[in-house]
Each structure stands twice: as structure tokens, then as C-alpha cells.
Chains A and B, each alone.
Chain A
């Protein structure tokens, strides 16, 4: 082991033009991290890859005044260069609505693979050239590729439902009554006239009528020489009644052969 064994490495990165070392030291001390070796990268918004090996730094400190930094891609890079178990701090200096930004950043680091995002209030940190409003702290998982997953985190961790995200909104589920939460009743048909077909244990005779209609395939004669006692069959589906044998076929003239329809969206038979 080399003499830097006790020194932890931190990468401090910003999309701004400058970032004084003293500020980095102050922030890290406030966040509970002493004795480390800082590396500073500025104007980092367009960086594709950091010039660092994978799993090489203990912590990453990202500072920004803008909402876009760090982007999804850069968060991914943080994940790459951090040692397993390492910590990322995303610190923001923003006016006005911070809740949305907090949620957005939490989501971004989560999707980059970080665990246990926490929100920190950083307004009290005294810095010379700028100030901070809040920060998000998250951890890189400590498993390594290739090792087996004996890791069983205590159940508490997974079950912690983080309601901190929506501190300022009421819980919408509280608006529902017990009645609302019960499985809904399907509408009871009032009489079978309103149902789409006869009931399973039909007693009124409707089932028989429907069965007859289904079985009534058209005879050759009915196709060659169509007749209609009601007079409506030839007018097309819009005028036919429920039991009409010509249902589904195009309009026709009485006595003239029924042709196939010219439906543009019919499958080629």
C-alpha cells in the first residue's frame, strides 16, 4: 500500500468556469469528509468521459447553478469512476422552486444505478464566492461484477418509503373512501333488453332466437336470389334487424345476386 492509503480521493466537478479549492475543502468538511485529495474539473457540461480509471475515486462532488448539470450521461460517468460503496454529492445553487429539482436529481442518480438518495440542506455552508441551496447524496452499490450476490440488505432499507419527495403535496390516496377502494360492482343489467346477448341460463326464449340466427347460414338460393319479407335486408347493415340472415353482407337489390363487399380494410380471404 502506498503512503496515500489514508487519503481519500474526491473528484470535484462543475459546469462553471471556476471552482476554488478552498470551497471544495469547506463543502467536503461540512459533509463529514476530512482528509482527502481533491481533483477539480471545471466547464464539465460537455465532457464525454472523465480521464480517470473505473472504480478509482472515493467520492464525487458535483456543483452547479444550472438545472441540466449533471446530465444522465455524466451521472453514468460518476458511477463508473466511483469505487463500489463510494458516494456522490450533487450540490445545487438554485433560486425558487427546489422541490421539482430535488426530485429530478434524485431520479437521475437512481437511474444511473445509485442507491439511497438523500436530500441535504446546504444553505448554512459559508463560502466565499457562491452559496448553495441543497444537495443530493447517494451511494454506489458495493457489489462487484462476478461476485455472487450474497448481499442481503436489511428489509428496513428496501421498505423505507421515501415520502420526502412530496413534502408539500397532500397524499392523494387519502381522498378515497373505503367504499371507493372496494372492488367495483359491474353494472347489473336491468332486464335482458339492455344486454348485448342472452344470459347463460336464459328462460325468456331469447337464447333460442339468437342460436337460430347464428346457425342460419345463407343458402345458395338466398345468395342468388335474395328476397326480404321485411323489405329492409337489401338496404345494408344499417337497416337490418338483429336476426337478419344477410347481416354482414353489403347492400343488394332484391332478386340480384349478392356480391362480396369492397371493404378496403378486409383481409384478403
Chain B
């Protein structure tokens, strides 16, 4: 297992870092300068939102081709998800919808999303929660970046029932992964010019586990004297988040706390339909909505909010170094968000997905020199 010390860091590792440093290389574009990106539609609202993404990309003449791989969540075999993983290995980048995990199936059927993350070693889940100007929320001026360890912790799927009626779930914390994620967090904070990193833990109870995580964060923090480091217990963190979220800047934490804290923050800035998420690994990057909702109850009813998925696709374009396209689509999405009459049901309006997407395309058309009158 390689260790994640900055000096001995192989350049290939830096490639996973989303902000290019010169030695970073985006996935190679094929002949003609077009990129191939794996697309996993998933379940629920995934397919319709990804169709809209494809529509917007085609409209803006984005040089990206999508290789669609379907994953059937009802099957017990892992053939589908293995195909998807192979496709992502081939292309290097993916955009995915959430794949449903049915509780009624046998426990041996692992969560497909989790399998994907662990097989590709997408160790960092980054979510940037910002208050959007056009969306009315109870809290204002939120700007929190959440970096969550994505592969170990409580999501190891290691459980057993040695004695009937007594289940043991293992939560694994390793020094290497903790150092890796802490290093990632501090590097990202430095690059984005952030001032403070908060580690979220429960080391008063899980002394060895979260204690190790906290120690690794402290170790890495000493190498970044320009960034303030503090730690907070997860229950106090959630209470502070609902009363005074403006105090947080960058937060780094193990897997389960990351799940809960990121959902709380998503709720604070306006809901699951607004925030995009990215999963970065050493060699691969997968983009999706931050709160990973399947949205089965609102599927195919033209009421889902496409913002999260479109902003995730903009993050993907940034990753592919297609910055112009990324900013043009992002501006269009954010401008559309300001129009209250286009708000979808989850943010309190009555607009439909189609209207939102069309408004975004109209905005791109009016601003961009790339599309001429159709």
C-alpha cells in the first residue's frame, strides 16, 4: 500500500486532483478532439435527467460522446455493474444516476453504487454547498465544502451474525486512507483559497477509530500552517449547522458522518435538487447528484429538478478541461434558478423539468457564439 506523503507522491496520484497543476493530464481525447464519457442512467429520475444533460450538451455542441451502460438493479448478478466499471476504466470519467438498492433482496446483494466507488477507489467525495441567490432558504450566505471519505468507514459492507440475533457491523478506519483524504482536503482548501478546515468525528466514543482519523488530520494539518485546523464532534456539528452554518468553511470527515452532514447541508441550501457531487479517485472521476437520491416517487413526471445533474455535468466538463462550455452551461443554469416562476416543486414552485431545460438552452443560445439560430 503506498503512503500518501506529499514528497513521495507519484505524479499519477496528482492526476486525480481536480485542479490542474501542470503535471495533471485530463483523460485523453480521441481523434477529432472529442471525449468519451461513460453514462450510467440508474433508476428513478436518473434516466430522464441524463437525457436532458445529453440534450443540453448536443445543443451546446459540447465535444463529448456518451457511452451508455445500463445497470439493472433488480438482478442479483454483478455482471451489469462490472461492465459499468470496465467502461469507466476505459474512459476515465463517468456521469451517473443513482442505482437503487432494494432492501428486500438478500444481504449478499451489495449496493451497486458502493461497489462502484470501492472498485474504482474513488476515495474523495466532494460536495460544494452554496446558497444560490434565486432560491429562498432559511439560512443565507452558506458556503461549505464537504470532503467525505468515500471508500471505508461504516460502508465496508462487512457484517456477520456469529450468534443468532446479534449482528456485528465493522467500521474500518485505516491510517492510509485517513491520511489520503486529509491530504486531499487540505490541498483542495489551499487551492481554493479557503481559510479553515474542520474535521468532524466522534472520538470521545470511538477512541481508536475516529481517534486515528483525527490524528491523521492533525498530522496533515501541521504541513499546512496557512490553514486553520479545528475538530468538532459530529453531534455538535449538526446542531451548529442548523443554527449557524456560516461558521463552517471546509469540512473533512469519515464516510457515515459525511453522508449525514452533506444531506443536512443540502437541505440548508435548498434541497436535493440543487447540489452536484463529485467522486474523485486517483485515476477516475465520477459525477452525480450530491445526495444520491433515486427519486422513484417523482420519476417520469416531468417535475424533477434538473439543476443538480446539470451542475454535475458542468463539474465533469471542468474535469475534462472544457472550461468554456462548463461556464456557459453553469451560468445558464444559475440564471434560470433566479427565475421564481421556473422553480420546480422541490423548491416550492410549479415549473416542469422541460421548461427549466428549455430556458437553460435559450439562455445558452442568447449568450453563446457557438450556436447559431436554429
Q: Do A and B bind each other?
A: no
Chain B residues within CB distance 8 Å of chain A: none
